[in-house]
Amino acid sequence: MAAIGRHTEDLLPCVSTKSLCLFKCATKHWLGLIDHPDHRRNSESEERFPRSALHFFNVSGEGRPFIYPSFSFLPDRRRLHLLDCCNGLILCRWYDISTTRDDEFSYVVCNPATEEWVALPDRRQSGEVGTARLGFDPASSPHFHVFVFLMDARGYISGVDLYSSETGRWVYKEKGWDEDVTLAEPQSATVFLDSYMHLCTACGRISAVDTKGETWSSFHTPCAPFFGLIQQSQGRFLYATFNYGQYNDDDYIPQKNNDDDYEEWQLKVYALEDCANKQWILKHRVGLLNLEAFGGALQGAFDWVAIHPERDSMFYIQGTYGDNMLMYYSMDGKPATEVRALGEAAQPPYLPYVPLYTKLESLRKWHQDGTETADDSM
């Protein structure tokens, strides 16, 4: 029995985290063996969790994440990039083990809570990487949509590849905006609302396109030309930003030219009350003099994460690389609180994830020609 025990201990570091959790439920002996400090240290070594690994954090601060960051339910791969998350589904770039080229990959949409996934067929513009975003609203449709925005040589959006899980095919549409449009930041958050994908674009504007690429629109944010965060929360389209000076409906009025004057800088959160007329309503405003926790926003040591989907609160990263903290701020006037020190694990994009436990017919495997298959291989 001792020999068997030694062999078991040698094998533990090779066992997946998910299997270890199941084994712990088998007997008290397994529980004690796996939870032993020596074995726990081995199973959480740098080899098993390299710096480039995916990380999930439970923002409630209680317990471990609800899903395993290994994505072991997906086929073996050389690399996996998480690109976007929308209502429980995650869009990824999956790189096959057999290739070392960064432009050879497959788009995969998966549900980590149910371990369902689908590999999308190749796009017509397969050599153009583009900026990919995911749209999914289970309240209105069981089908998801993928938008891949393509750029011209100047960095402006020239068109979009559109994928619908209903048809299983890609469609290309040329840009329908009258003006040149470029993303404010390549990894900035997007909002999928009423079958439109909304993007934060340069010059303080929000640009949108529908799932068929037939209707294109663009409108100003309430605090142009400042960049901010767009999110959907409690069924409303929200925009959060830091604004210097005063902003009265139509005019931006700068007060002073002193970046260190926290009293003049304000955190503002707006809600889009009238989507048809693009009417913004101020939802929350507070001066940064009263919010020392947001000081990093004026020092280049700040990143937006998300606005809570069901509460008047938000999450953000405070600090510099290797010394950063996940923060939580409630709009009810309470001080911002620290959720977790992230260290080198915190690198964008930061994707807010809420598990979806509903099984979806749209998460089926498709052949490269668009026909359905029940095969689990890529």
SS3 assignment, position 252: strand
| DSSP 8-state symbol, 167 | T
Q: 306: how many CB neighbours lie within 10 A of its CB?
A: 20
Q: Which of 103-112, 257-266, 367-376 has the lowest mean pLDDT?
A: 367-376
- Nearest CA to 67 among 378, 364, 354? 354
Query: Mean per-residue pLDDT for 7-15?
Result: 44
Place of tokens 């067929």: 121
Residues in the chain: 378
Residues 163-204: pLDDT tens digits? 999 999 999 999 999 889 988 887 889 999 999 999 998 878
For residue 239, the cross-strand partners are 230, 270
DSSP string spanning 323-338?
EEEEEEEETTSPPPEE
- What pLDDT score was predicted for residue 91? 96
- Taking the chain, what is the end-to-end CA distance rounded to the nearest angstrom? 42
Q: Are 116 and 359 within 8 A, CB to CB?
A: yes
At residue 131, what is the residue type? T
- Structural tokens at position 132: 């990919």
Contacts of 156 (CB under 8 A, 6+ apart): 180, 181, 182
Q: Which helix (H) or strand (E) holds 376?
A: none
For residue 90, the cross-strand partners are 85, 110
Contacts of 257 (CB under 8 A, 6+ apart): none
Q: Which of 16-20, 201-205, 241-245 has the lowest mean pLDDT?
A: 16-20
Give the chain's mean pLDDT: 76
SS3 assignment, position 137: coil
Query: Mean per-residue pLDDT for 128-147?
Result: 93
Q: Which helix (H) or strand (E) holds 358?
A: none
Measured CA to CA, the distance from residue 187 to residue 184 in angstroms comes to: 9
- Identify which has the larger pLDDT, 369 or 195: 195
pTM of the entire structure? 0.77
Measured CA to CA, the distance from residue 292 to residue 134 in angstroms comes to: 35
- What pLDDT score was predicted for residue 101? 77
> What phi, psi does 219 have (nearest 5°)?
-150, 160
Q: Are 108 and 94 within 8 A, CB to CB?
A: yes
| DSSP 8-state symbol, 24 | H
Q: Which of 53-57, 277-281, 337-341 has the lowest mean pLDDT?
A: 53-57
Q: How many Cα atoms sit within 13 Å of 362 on the Cβ side? A: 23
Domain boundaries, the chain: 2-43, 67-181+351-378, 221-348
